Chains A and B, each alone.
Chain A
Amino acid sequence: MWESIESVVPLSSWLTPGRTLFLFIHLLGVVCFAYIVARRLVPLIRSQRDPRFDRPLARAGKVLKFWLGQWKHPRYKVAGTLHILIFAGFILLAARAFSVLIIGVSPNFVMPGFAGNSGRWYEAATDYAATVVFLCMIFAIVRRLVFKPARYGVPAQFGKAHTADAIFLLALIAILMVADSLFEGAKAAAQAQQGQLAELTTVLSLPWMFKTALANSSIPLLGTLYFSAYLLHEVTFYFLLCYRPFGIQFHVETSLFNIYFSKLDKSTLKPVKWGVSDEQLGDLKSFGVKTFEDFTWKHILDFYSCADCGRCSDNCPANAVGRPLSPRFISIKARDYAFRHYPMFGHTGNGQPLVGSIYSPDEIWSCTTCGACEAECPLLLEYIDKIVDMRRGMVDDGNVPQSLQKPLKALESRGNPYGKLEKKRADWASTKEFQKICPVKTLDGKGGAENLYFVDSITSYDDRMQSIGRATARILDHVGEDFGILGAAEKDSGHEVRRFGEETLFTALRDHNADAIRSCGAKRIVTADPHAYNALKHDYKDVPPVEHISQVIARGVKSGKIQFNPAENRDSVYTYHDPCYLGRHNGIYDDPRAVLDAIPGLKRVEMKRSRDRSFCCGGGGLMLFYEPKEDQRMGVKRVQMAAEAGANVIVTACPFCMVNIEDAIKVAGLEGKMTAIDLAELADKQIAREGAVAEAASVAEAQQESVAGG
């Protein structure tokens, strides 16, 4: 065959002898790929509906930011840079890959718009792109083998290491780049020898290196190399195309869709079933996710799209303290289940329950819904909805840990998880001393107010947290807000009830509270509890807009209504711990910091993990009753982080954070060396008040402290 190439012949005809072969490979590859994708779509068709086709412009915007813009990737510098380069390379090489494939069948094919000069610039760019991708592959392989980043490791309970498969894929991509570059380099070398206008091979690129190395090779050899490289390229390309849907590389195809269809309404929870209204819920035979097919198609697409990067589990606080949960393996195990039960040939689906087979109940109960995983995932995978859905399924089956059954029962009978009497819910405000300095009115129809202070259960009943309630009331009073509380008519916001899968009880609490809120006539709601804030903002419908107390204080500082006395203790170093439901879920990071920075002389440091990388304190609501299997408390890790940052006072803006952190200070043995204070408590303490008000305030403070036990 190659004899005919001895003479000067148009290089494009070097491939002609293989034309049939190439065509065959094209057809085989495309058909296989189509079949594989069709099989992969089967579980999506069997699964639940999920309306993600609205607001196309917003969705396109997300594609631009997170897919094209690789927005989340730089959060891990090395891997992020690598991936951005690889991704950019792939995007750039896309047109070239297409052209190369077609050339084998239609030798003179030139991509429309890529003729002439633009084609030359494109060639130059792709030369470098292929080189960079190749180098990235080498770097990535070395990184996997030598540096072994911890987050790629597979703990024993989750199976064997994924390294071999990862390196296999990286190597294949490297081979693809080499094949492409050899293809170009061989051609360029031949053209140079024949005096033809050489296609540009850019200096120091891979094709250029091949061209240089092959500069003096014989034409027949070049022909062989050219043909072989082409074949190798085509085979590798189609092999990769058909292999990707069998592993984590499927994200190459699915990522665009996964990001397009990702959730637009951050921090909302999926309803029990899309398309089923609250009134129709009673007709459903089953709640929640029990079998694989109970997931929605988008959830299954998520499982396909997981790139096994481990960033989620690396930031998951439950994982960090040794709980059985690792978000990465929620996805990987489900994906493996899909592959196993929806194979390329044969019987599909087996309807077995997931919890109790691929997942353990503790794995699912361990999640505090902090959202660190979702904040980190570059592919915008959604975890909280899946965990909540599986909890709904367990609750439906009665499979609830004993430790949670008591508070749930108490919530049902008394509207709070402690089983305390409803009529005592407002006792925190009605002590004689407090009434004197800050009377708090109860909005029970006899008088209204502009603002409703929604206190929620822990602040109402826990005698330590009641001081947050009093501080909040005094701040509202100081800035002149007309406010009241619901008192005994208030029930638990139900925030964790919902997130622990007890949707029916949540609905009852929500409807009761929403009615009470609407009847009280308030135009705005304020709360010091980020969980209540999140519930009122996202879980409740048709209630007035809600604010967190930190926003009120920040506004007061800005407007001058609130002036602070200087910080007393010059040795105190403060650090602010971002509560998950204030910071990560609702984006309120700056107001609390502005408040602290407005206190003259207050020294503040940032912990390494702050803002949307804040480390969950351990969770709130029902999570305080759950008894997890763990090596350590999340709160203990957090106070150690504060100590590392050089702080000796932790400021937080959530009563649950306060419980966990104060607890952790004792458990970590840091009593006397570290204290915790709530933002509202601190602000209340530092507010510069005048005359008699100030005196009464300090008397009340002293009394509050003695009640709280000093």
Chain B
Amino acid sequence: MARIFAYIVHRSGVPDDSAAELAAAAKKIDATAQTTAIVTGQGPDLDNVCSAVRSSFAEVWKIANDALAHLNAELIRKALVKVLPPGSIVLVAHEHFGIDLAPGLSVKLNAAYVSDVLGTDAIEGNHLKIVRQEFGGQVSSHVRCDISSGAVLTIRPGAFRPQQNAALNGNILDKSGEIGSLTAGRRYLQTIAAEAGDVDITKHAILVSIGRGIQEKDNVGIAQDLADALDAAVSCSRPVVDAKWLEKSRQVGSSGKTVKPKVYLACGISGSFQHLAGIKGNPFIVAINKNPKAPIFQVADVGIVDDILEFLPELTSKVREVRGIPAK
């Protein structure tokens, strides 16, 4: 059977939440597989990550090199190509780095490529049947992937639930010597942090989040009123930022902030995966949307089909009543 590898992204010595999810995905693909985690980087941070992921993986390959201090998909690909056995199945999280690394990696490994995997059956012979979505999540599809020469799969964060009883205690192997020298046509210069807004949405327990359904800048006040009544903050999806109705610092999603609130009110948000990717920690999600078929209703705990421009002010009045807050 093909070996399964999971590339682990990490920050400041802490592995990304997706690490355990990749292990779970690997289990789904092949219940008997001894999955190997691959971690690149340098210094003590790298060592910490390797120790941290041992519990979820049978083996951990550590690749240390100064050139790998920053995530550079070009260099990492070169390293992986040197160490990966032919016909491997490689799992990467489908986010900024995965999108950068995985397609090119599949070409260099001469392996099949499927992105944004939501679900999968177990391997059958040389094939893998995978579930994906298209059209912004409006339809799903089954895809058959020929894995006879391996595969590179990017896995949607949150699609596979990490197993609770993982205590594998994998060996850490140092593969740093096998990668040779690393150069690439792309060189990291620096990271520029996003401008800090007045509100840090990652620190709020309740978020009133608005999407395109708010329709225009002036209506943002409707959401702010509700947020004020709930002691919450207003956040939003990407289209609201693109339209310049709110600053970038308010954006929840894969290209915005990752939030872990207790309660998330998704108002007029369709529920594209890039947005949902920014919501972690399994909060209580309330979805209010005019469109009963909006994908958000699949992930929400409570759904209401209504026009947020009409519904929110009424909810605000009710909340004020319950909390004893006078109207403005």
**A-to-B contact residues, CB < 8 Å:** 403, 627, 633, 663, 666-667, 669, 671, 709
Q: Which of A633, A667, A669, A709 contacts B310 (CB 8 A)?
A: A709
Q: Is B195 an interface residue (CB 8 A)?
A: no
* Chain B residues within 8 Å of A667, by CB: 218, 221
Q: Is B168 an interface residue (CB 8 A)?
A: no
Q: Is B217 an interface residue (CB 8 A)?
A: yes
Q: Which of B243, B306, B310 contacts A403 (CB 8 A)?
A: B243
A interface secondary structure, majority: mixed
A633 & B218 in contact (Cβ 8 Å cutoff): yes
Q: Which of B217, B310, B328 contacts A627 (CB 8 A)?
A: B217
B243 & A666 in contact (Cβ 8 Å cutoff): no
The chain B residue with its CB closest to the CB of A667 is B218
Q: Write out, one digit per residue, whether chain B residues 289-325 have a CB within 8 A of any chain A CB (1) or not (0).
A: 0000000000000000011001001000000000000
Smallest Cβ distance from B61 to chain A, in angstroms?
A: 47
The chain A residue with its CB closest to the CB of B328 is A669
A666 in contact with B217 given A627-B243, A709-B307 (CB within 8 Å): no
Q: Is B228 an interface residue (CB 8 A)?
A: no
B313 & A666 in contact (Cβ 8 Å cutoff): yes
Q: Is B216 an interface residue (CB 8 A)?
A: yes
* Chain B residues within 8 Å of A627, by CB: 216-217, 243-244
Interface size on B, residues (CB 8 A): 11
* Chain B residues within 8 Å of A633, by CB: 218
8 pairs, CB–CB < 8 Å, chain A vs chain B: A403-B243, A627-B216, A627-B243, A627-B244, A663-B218, A666-B313, A669-B328, A709-B307
* Chain A residues within 8 Å of B306, by CB: 709
Chain A-chain B contacts (Cβ-Cβ < 8 Å), number: 15
* Chain A residues within 8 Å of B310, by CB: 709
Q: Write out, one digit per residue, whether chain B residues 205-230 have a CB within 8 A of any chain A CB (1) or not (0).
A: 00000000000111001000000000
Smallest Cβ distance from B41 to chain A, in angstroms?
A: 41
**B-to-A contact residues, CB < 8 Å:** 216-218, 221, 243-244, 306-307, 310, 313, 328
The chain B residue with its CB closest to the CB of A663 is B218
Taken together as a complex, chains A and B put the C-alpha atoms of A633 and B216 apart, in Å, by 12
In the complex, the 9 A-B pairs of residues with the closest C-beta atoms, listed nearest first: A709-B310, A667-B218, A709-B307, A627-B217, A633-B218, A627-B216, A403-B243, A666-B313, A627-B243
Smallest Cβ distance from A132 to chain B, in angstroms?
A: 52
* Chain B residues within 8 Å of A709, by CB: 306-307, 310
* Chain B residues within 8 Å of A671, by CB: 313
Taken together as a complex, chains A and B put the C-alpha atoms of A463 and B67 apart, in Å, by 59
Smallest Cβ distance from B308 to chain A, in angstroms?
A: 12
* Chain A residues within 8 Å of B218, by CB: 633, 663, 667
Taken together as a complex, chains A and B put the C-alpha atoms of A633 and B244 apart, in Å, by 18
Taken together as a complex, chains A and B put the C-alpha atoms of A671 and B310 apart, in Å, by 12
Besides A403-B243, A627-B243, A669-B328, 12 other A-B contacts (C-beta < 8 A): A627-B216, A627-B217, A627-B244, A633-B218, A663-B218, A666-B313, A667-B218, A667-B221, A671-B313, A709-B306, A709-B307, A709-B310
Smallest Cβ distance from B55 to chain A, in angstroms?
A: 49
Smallest Cβ distance from A637 to chain B, in angstroms?
A: 14
Taken together as a complex, chains A and B put the C-alpha atoms of A633 and B217 apart, in Å, by 12
Taken together as a complex, chains A and B put the C-alpha atoms of A403 and B244 apart, in Å, by 11
The chain B residue with its CB closest to the CB of A463 is B307
Taken together as a complex, chains A and B put the C-alpha atoms of A666 and B310 apart, in Å, by 10
Taken together as a complex, chains A and B put the C-alpha atoms of A403 and B216 apart, in Å, by 11
Taken together as a complex, chains A and B put the C-alpha atoms of A669 and B328 apart, in Å, by 9
The chain B residue with its CB closest to the CB of A625 is B216
Taken together as a complex, chains A and B put the C-alpha atoms of A663 and B214 apart, in Å, by 13
Taken together as a complex, chains A and B put the C-alpha atoms of A435 and B307 apart, in Å, by 25
The chain A residue with its CB closest to the CB of B307 is A709
Taken together as a complex, chains A and B put the C-alpha atoms of A580 and B313 apart, in Å, by 31
